[in-house]
A and B are shown apart, each in its own frame.
Chain A
């Protein structure tokens, strides 16, 4: 299985901050990488697919980059609704696997 490692696991931040979350794959996944946002008590929502393609309706302050084994999710200007947990997922090979999550919390 491909292991997905996210860092940091917790990220204290303030509204207006630029936030960067990393995701590393144990083997190359090309650009077959998605990012999700999960607010407590709700289902995850797709933010980005194919490493950098913004999903429909997702604000442009979210962006993704990377290829191979190293990926990044960036929130350019953190908004109150963005305090949540973020997960990366590779869909390059089976079984599909997720990272352990990064919780963006209020500093």
Chain B
């Protein structure tokens, strides 16, 4: 059974960085892409980018280019998303999601990680 388990909630100050982890199990980690999606409080869903766990290749939405980093540790079957230069607009729940390829729907989702940016 596929499971994506994310790290716990974070509170950060403006200008800081946050790193969220996503531990995958129940499938071949390197056989599927990991996408990241966020949702601001009371708002809709926003796609941030993906990482190919096999090659480490990444692609990001233009909005996040230069501010987001996605990495993985294949030995730990864990993906990471780091967002820098945080502002209050980055307060959101961040989800890791599994996609069978670059352009694919997300068939499994992590439980979400709330990141709060506040001075």
CB distance from A55 to the nearest CB of B (A): 7
**Cross-chain contact A43 with B110 (CB below 8 angstroms):** yes
Cβ of B11 under 8 Å from chain A: no
Cβ proximity bits A73-107 to B, threshold 8 Å, 1 near / 0 not: 00000000000000101011111111111000000
Kindly state whether residue B106 has any CB partner on chain A within 8 Å.
yes
- Asked if residues B61 and A94 are in contact (CB atoms below 8 Å), the reply is yes
How many pairs, one residue from A and one from B, have CB atoms within 8 Å of each other in the complex?
53
The SS class assigned to the A binding surface is: loop
User: A17 CB to closest chain B CB, in angstroms?
Assistant: 24
Instruction: Tell me if A96 and B109 are in contact (CB < 8 A).
Output: no
Contact A96 B62 (CB under 8 A): no
Asked whether B45 is an interface residue with its Cβ less than 8 Å from the other chain, the reply is yes
B residues 62-119 near A (Cβ < 8 Å) are: 62-63, 95, 103-112
Give a binary string over B37-56; 1 marks a CB under 8 Å from any A CB, 0 the rest: 00000001111000000000
For residue A32, CB closer than 8 A to chain B, the reply is yes
- Say whether B16 faces chain A, with CB atoms less than 8 Å apart: no
Q: Which residues of A contact B (CB under 8 A)?
A: 32, 34, 36, 43-46, 49, 55, 87, 89, 91-101
